[in-house]
């Protein structure tokens, strides 16, 4: 960066890039400037452009300097320098113009697994996911993801599409209520809410793209910059000794830098006990261990299992009984010293009302891609906060699901607050990490996909190259988790 560039930054770079074809819309008069057209945002067209430096706020700013660049590279360097100095979004917007929804697309991702795996309920030979892209009139896109079978959630999104085209993309709450009410008599839980979750997430992403802000800033600002990651996995394979390959997997997770792992149980009480004890011996006392039975037991069996592994310092016992059996949850919770977690198979604030009010669960696990999206999960978390119940969102899917969950987790207040609050955890299914702590990045990236924001971390997507996203990427050590492109392998298993 030249000395002139540095002086230009100190003037308070506004971030307005004007393509030569649009210069007629730029009004400069007596040291102030404004843009007369709707699209007073960063120009995406190739070729030369103008960069304006200004001071002040509001629709009309005092003009300091105008510089011309042959292409956007010089301006991008200048913008990064200005953002680093000011700590705010370096884009000028005299007023926020409405953004209507132009189109909605669904992407069904499915691929055969190289090696089938099983958890306590079923074997899986294929993996899938369903992504939703909502396109605004300005050409920007927001991405969302639905938990559940893609062949069932995609048609519901197509039904929602007819109700959203041409509507205000900023009216997320209005759209959520309208879509929920439209299928209220047919889908208070399950597939309809999972599809609604994807739409809600995509709308938040689109707003972040349009406003140049991360989603966590839009829903209240970050309460934290890093989230402890735990490694899940430990599924069964068709061949080999389960204890041998699961112990090897535990050692690999520890070597990768994880300080917490979650074991899959539900394969028989005695076998589960042997596995937990073997894993604890292999990883030592410093590793945090959670267990997940995926509702494989009734209350009697879950209590028997829990009492046999209580001495192993288990962080939580997830889904010990079926999600419909709230009385069973209460029995297990009353009988064990291990905290009880659950809620990934529950939907909306109405579904979580009774578990919260009855304090049937110690740690709630709403899934952003299933329980109603970012909008609804924030309400669920606020309800739990009022009752003193912990919330640790469930995550399973592509990078879209992970990014959306991190945005939500970033905004959840410590409950209760203090100098040493209980850390939040995020589930990483197959990560590359050194530290085991995914963070909201504070650095920029040259290749982006999704919506632009400050700080400028991104979720890269080959299918939407050179766009940016309102979701910040999870950063583990020195490497970032990237969003899966729509043509890549997804994940729809529980």
Active site residues: 394
Q: Which spans in 136-236 are helix H?
A: 150-164, 172-182, 191-211, 215-218
- Measured in degrees and rounded to the nearest 5, phi and psi for residue 34 equal -155, 165
Question: Are the beta carbons of 422 and 212 closer than 8 angstroms?
Answer: no
Query: How many Cβ atoms are within 10 Å of 347's Cβ, its own excluded?
Result: 25
> Which of 476, 436, 478 is CA-nearest to residue 257?
436
Spatial distance between the Cα atoms of 413 and 450, rounded to a whole number of angstroms? 26
* Per-residue buried b or exposed e for 180-214, using 16+ beta carbons within 10 Å of the residue's own CB: beebeeebeeebbbbbbbbbbbbbbbbbbbbbbbb
Spatial distance between the Cα atoms of 438 and 229, rounded to a whole number of angstroms? 6
Q: Which residues contact 150 (CB under 8 A, 6 or more apart)?
A: 108, 109, 110, 128, 129, 130, 490, 492
**What tokens appear for 43 in the block?**
């120009």
Query: How many Cβ atoms are within 10 Å of 32's Cβ, its own excluded?
Result: 15
Using CA atoms, how far residue 388 sits from 12, 118, 325, 332, 378, in Å, is 45, 35, 22, 19, 15
The tokens 């298993």 sit on which residue? 493
Enumerate helices (H) and strands (E) in the chain, giving the number of each. 13, 19
Using CA atoms, how far residue 45 sits from 9, 18, 138, 235, 288, in Å, is 23, 9, 13, 48, 50
């Amino acid at each position: 960066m030249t000395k002139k560039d540095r002086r230009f930054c100190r003037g308070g770079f506004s971030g307005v890039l004007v393509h030569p074809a649009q210069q007629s819309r730029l009004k400069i008069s007596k040291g102030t400037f404004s843009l007369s057209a709707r699209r007073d945002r960063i120009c995406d067209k190739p070729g030369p452009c103008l960069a304006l430096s200004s001071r002040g706020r509001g629709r009309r700013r005092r003009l300091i300097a105008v510089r011309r660049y042959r292409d956007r590279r010089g301006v991008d360097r200048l913008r990064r320098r200005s953002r680093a100095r000011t700590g705010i979004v370096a884009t000028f917007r005299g007023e926020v113009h409405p953004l209507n929804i132009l189109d909605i697309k669904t992407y069904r991702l499915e691929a055969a697994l190289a090696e089938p795996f099983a958890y306590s309920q079923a074997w899986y030979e294929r993996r899938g996911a369903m992504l939703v892209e909502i396109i605004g009139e300005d050409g920007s896109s927001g991405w969302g993801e639905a938990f559940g079978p893609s062949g069932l959630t995609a048609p519901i999104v197509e039904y929602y599409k007819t109700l959203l085209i041409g509507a205000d993309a900023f009216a997320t709450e209005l759209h959520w209520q309208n879509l929920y009410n439209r299928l209220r008599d047919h889908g208070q839980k399950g597939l309809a809410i999972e599809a609604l979750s994807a739409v809600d997430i995509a709308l938040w992403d689109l707003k972040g793209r349009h406003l140049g802000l991360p989603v966590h800033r839009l829903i209240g600002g970050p309460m934290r910059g890093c989230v402890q990651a735990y490694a899940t996995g430990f599924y069964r394979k068709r061949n080999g000794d389960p204890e041998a390959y699961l112990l090897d997997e535990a050692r690999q997770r520890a070597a990768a830098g994880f300080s917490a792992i979650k074991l899959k149980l539900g394969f028989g009480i005695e076998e589960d006990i042997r596995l937990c004890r073997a894993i604890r011996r292999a990883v030592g006392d410093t590793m945090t261990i959670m267990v997940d039975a995926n509702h494989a037991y009734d209350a009697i069996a879950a209590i028997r299992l829990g009492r046999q592994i209580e001495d192993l310092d288990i962080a939580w016992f997830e889904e010990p009984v079926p999600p419909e059996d709230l009385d069973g949850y209460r029995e297990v919770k009353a009988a064990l010293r291990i905290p009880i977690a659950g809620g990934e198979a529950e939907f909306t604030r109405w579904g979580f009302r009774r578990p919260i009010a009855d304090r049937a669960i110690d740690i709630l696990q709403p899934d952003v891609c299933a329980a109603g999206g970012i909008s609804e999960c924030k309400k669920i978390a606020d309800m739990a906060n009022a009752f003193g119940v912990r919330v640790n969102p469930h995550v399973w899917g592509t990078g879209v699901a992970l990014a959306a969950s991190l945005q939500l987790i970033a905004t959840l207040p410590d409950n209760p607050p203090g100098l040493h609050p209980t850390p939040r955890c995020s589930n990483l299914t197959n990560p590359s990490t050194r530290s085991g702590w995914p963070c909201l990045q504070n650095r920029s990236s040259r290749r982006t996909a999704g919506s632009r924001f400050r700080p400028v971390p991104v979720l890269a997507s080959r299918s939407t190259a050179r766009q940016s996203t309102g979701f910040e990427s999870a950063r583990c050590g020195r490497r970032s988790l990237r969003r899966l492109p729509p043509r890549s392998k997804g994940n729809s298993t529980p």
